[in-house]
Structure 1
């Protein structure tokens, strides 16, 4: 992710990111389709949760958006069919006409600091543009209709009967399609202004969804996932739903008795501890620090309400088919919440494909930026191993923030803008309408066939993958940050959590009588330079060790520094 300037409203209130994703269901048809097809319709797979996102609300809005879109696509498919019946190649003219008319008001402006809305004469310019294009088309058809073509070519090009049927059908279809798109976009704009503004979303009313049993069950699974403590992932990386690792490091600390100066009586043997005790201690101390001083890196006690410290279990979806802890007799999808006893057992036995992490999340900028720190503890013999993986969920796509630009009631300027934008999209939407309408009509049948195949594979394949392959939140990730300070805030939080954690562990080991000399040395290295562990390669500062290793040093505002390779 880069830090290129993006002109878009930024989140500021808790719940903004959920609101943006709900708006995306209506603003981005591909996003809505992916959520329904890859998450909702994948009944057997796990759902990847993300901090501060109401996944159920997003899924419901995606379903509702598709239902609203279906009548529009049926009408556009009808217009498409009329032109295809009279003169198939005139479909290109319809697309050109709609696109050219939509671009008629894209005039140059001297303003460079904001968006200018169309003036009162915009629609007149659009009408004039459409009129002369139709006139030129009619004259060309009348001219070329004198050519002697065989019946097939004459039908394809619409040259029969002096081209009158082709012109009338094409112009009528273009007008009907344009009116359909304009009505649809005006209705969408009204929905966004009245239901998904920050004020209206404070008391949200979830949209109605089709009353089908499998949809009801899947929404329940999504709700369980966002309230759960388990992430069942597919593939190599376990942190599905939390973005890729921003940085990571590992420590190995020998658990040796603390030394004393010469002449001082030798102390008692160190007090042994279990990994579960260390995890509980770190969790409690982090929580106490938040209550006392506010969330790490903020100094604001009010921010502590947004801080989430949780035990999270990560499991490989291809290896849990026979694990009773993750399977339920009441649902197809894996169990997404384990009991405290089950989590305790996983902490004490960190082997295989199921691991425990102590996770710390702090949603910032209305949940648009969420830094997360994952801590894994284990002991092997007389060595304590600590792994820290830092992640930052960046902001969602800037276009989804459009809802914060809208004002209620609808102004004449905004109405003209919506109408002209609808015209500019009519051509491409018209060509895709028949396929979308057919796909929607066959959705239930296709879903039943898909489930038949999935259930058969689940019974026959012992390595059937139950893990989540996609994350709703990560689908919407922007490639750029929207504000410089989003980067600064995220890095400050992750750094503060790491420093607090290291200090807590050091004091814990000291209180138990263990030697922390080596730990202090490694701690100081992390504080001064930072250690990032990637694929078994140790990186200190900007130096990489290992064949083919690469290093990046993360510093505020310089997230795109060039890699340094070590051969």
Structure 2
């Protein structure tokens, strides 16, 4: 089919979400510290599966933002000590003793300290905004704009990007074991398909011989063919072993080489395959199909598990969604970029914030130092209990950065319709791939044709978590009815590229 030649419209960047989160690290100290602790600090908990984000870039920008604020507060604390704690008592003494020269000198010290603090706050905020604008609108890759965080950390984050195992906290088994995938949209077990009957020989004369296959073969075929069948360019398909956090040690040293360190994100594929053919205790393998919307604003995923038990095959299907980022991460799009507006905005910020930041610097440094020591003590105590008392520890991730900063109130019409289209295409693609696989293995697909008519009635609504007890739907499918409320879109932001 000939391609129609039309003018090109502006498109969202593929890494828009990464850029917004990196920019947010420079503009939101709380976000920067949270990311820095989770991605770079020593810990035992697994990192949640983070979809659609360059973790290395995010870790670098969060570390740069944290170091900038730390440097500012150390200088402010020194100015506070000299210009407030020392100068104010001296000035009061000079007034009381009638030594006006001493009082004037102390007052001058206070003014100079405040002026220096104002300049420091102004410069730090200016650097933060410049860094945020550069990563949000610049042409360079986000990870190239700031220094690295060390090869050990970055190698671990790179491994996390290709994760084929996901330890999830044990209590999530009752709600959402697919940590990092967002909120549940629908859970089903499709109607069984009889795979024990051989297909008719097209040449006549009887039946064909069924070619042996197992669930690994079926998963591999679906993973390879889905992008082409579903017509979803950029579809990510990966088999992953999902393991309950308190069962991680039972997988072996391939997942947990050291019980006093966090588990790995990659294991030999034979272990992943084993979780599909013969699942272990709290260990199951799923084929995760993930597709991001324009610019990564929304992410939909479908987790599939083939239940192949002679004489039937069923598909366990769970659909999940992650909505767009919270509105606070679009603040970078409202920053003045030059001229009088930028100067005036920075002037107002520095003037209003300097006093608070100057007087609070020593206490902030003290609280952070105390929190770091407390976390280090807790971690050391936990490791001692694991080592000496053989404590059964839950290594599983609780959530992920991407789903933690998402907001269903930001879902717009295009997000909903695109996501529904993705999920319907994924469902249809799985059905088509399953039929082709069965035909290739000489299986009679009459039972499949009957099941498909029921399965195709399934619909998806991209509007948040589903509440209410499960029940049995038409044709034996198990579903969760009653989608959550739909919300209007509160702004797309920008992040466009020509």
Structure 1: gaps of 5 or more residues: 1-9, 89-154, 210-214, 296-303, 562-567
Matched, 1:551 2:481: yes
Correspondence 1:140-159 to 2 at 5 A: none
State the alpha-carbon separation in 1 of the partners of residues 86 and 191 from structure 2. Answer: 73
Contact 1:361–1:370 (8 Å) recurs in 2? yes
TM-score computed with the length of structure 1 as normaliser: 0.69
State the alpha-carbon separation in 2 of the partners of residues 440 and 11 from structure 1. Answer: 42
Q: CA deviation at 1:50?
A: 2.0
State the alpha-carbon separation in 1 of the partners of residues 330 and 258 from structure 2. Answer: 41
Q: CA deviation at 1:67?
A: 0.9
Q: CA deviation at 1:350?
A: 2.3
Q: CA deviation at 1:274?
A: 0.9
Q: Deviations over 1:121-167 (max 9, x none)?
A: xxxxxxxxxxxxxxxxxxxxxxxxxxxxxxxxxx9xxx9899x9999
Q: Deviations over 1:214-241 (max 9, x none)?
A: x653443222212222212213132222
Q: CA deviation at 1:190?
A: 2.0
Contact 2:198–2:442 (8 Å) recurs in 1? no
Matched, 1:30 2:30: yes
Residue 52 (structure 2) aligns with: 52
TM-score computed with the length of structure 2 as normaliser: 0.77
State the alpha-carbon separation in 1 of the partners of residues 107 and 17 from structure 2. Answer: 47
Cα RMSD over matched residues?
Answer: 4.1
Residue 66 (structure 1) aligns with: 66
State the alpha-carbon separation in 2 of the partners of residues 53 and 218 from structure 1. Answer: 16
3-state SS of paired residue (1:386)? strand
Residue 348 (structure 2) aligns with: 420
Q: Deviations over 1:429-468 (max 9, x none)?
A: 4565333312444576555434422321322344212222
Residue 470 (structure 2) aligns with: 537
State the alpha-carbon separation in 2 of the partners of residues 191 and 171 from structure 1. Answer: 30
Within the candidate set 457, 471, 479, 2:400 is matched to 471
Residue 458 (structure 1) aligns with: 386
3-state SS of paired residue (1:373)? strand
Residue 424 (structure 2) aligns with: 495
1:227/1:489 CA distance change after superposition, 3 Å: same
1:272/1:19 CA distance change after superposition, 3 Å: same
Within the candidate set 357, 364, 382, 2:293 is matched to 364
Of stretches 450-459 and 436-445 in structure 1, the one that deviates more from structure 2 is 436-445
Residue 247 (structure 2) aligns with: 319
Q: CA deviation at 1:372?
A: 1.4
State the alpha-carbon separation in 2 of the partners of residues 506 and 441 from structure 1. Answer: 60
Within the candidate set 409, 424, 438, 2:366 is matched to 438
Q: CA deviation at 1:60?
A: 2.0
Contact 1:221–1:333 (8 Å) recurs in 2? no
Contact 1:181–1:422 (8 Å) recurs in 2? yes
Q: CA deviation at 1:319?
A: 0.8
Contact 1:38–1:470 (8 Å) recurs in 2? no
3-state SS of paired residue (1:375)? strand
Q: CA deviation at 1:497?
A: 0.7
1:468/1:249 CA distance change after superposition, 3 Å: same
Of stretches 267-276 and 52-61 in structure 1, the one that deviates more from structure 2 is 267-276
Within the candidate set 189, 214, 225, 1:274 is matched to 214
3-state SS of paired residue (2:261)? coil
State the alpha-carbon separation in 2 of the partners of residues 356 and 221 from structure 1. Answer: 22
Residue 380 (structure 1) aligns with: 309
Q: CA deviation at 1:51?
A: 2.5
3-state SS of paired residue (1:528)? coil
Q: Deviations over 1:318-339 (max 9, x none)?
A: 1112432312259922121122
Correspondence 1:308-347 to 2 at 5 A: 308-324=236-252, 325-328=254-257, 332-347=261-276
State the alpha-carbon separation in 1 of the partners of residues 308 and 164 from structure 2. Answer: 23
Contact 2:198–2:210 (8 Å) recurs in 1? no
State the alpha-carbon separation in 2 of the partners of residues 414 and 56 from structure 1. Answer: 30
3-state SS of paired residue (2:313)? strand
State the alpha-carbon separation in 1 of the partners of residues 360 and 207 from structure 2. Answer: 78
State the alpha-carbon separation in 1 of the partners of residues 146 and 275 from structure 2. Answer: 37
Contact 1:49–1:55 (8 Å) recurs in 2? no
1:367/1:179 CA distance change after superposition, 3 Å: same
Of stretches 167-176 and 234-243 in structure 1, the one that deviates more from structure 2 is 167-176
State the alpha-carbon separation in 2 of the partners of residues 160 and 476 from structure 1. Answer: 55
State the alpha-carbon separation in 2 of the partners of residues 46 and 259 from structure 1. Answer: 45
Q: CA deviation at 1:402?
A: 3.5
Q: CA deviation at 1:534?
A: 7.7
Matched, 1:40 2:40: yes
Correspondence 1:30-429 to 2 at 5 A: 30-78=30-78, 177-201=117-141, 204-209=144-149, 217-235=152-170, 236=172, 237-255=176-194, 257-258=196-197, 267=207, 271-289=211-229, 294-295=231-232, 304=233, 306-324=234-252, 325-328=254-257, 332-405=261-334, 410-426=338-354, 429=357
Larger Rg over CA atoms: 1
Contact 1:229–1:336 (8 Å) recurs in 2? yes
Structure 2: gaps of 5 or more residues: 1-9, 489-498
1:248/1:550 CA distance change after superposition, 3 Å: closer
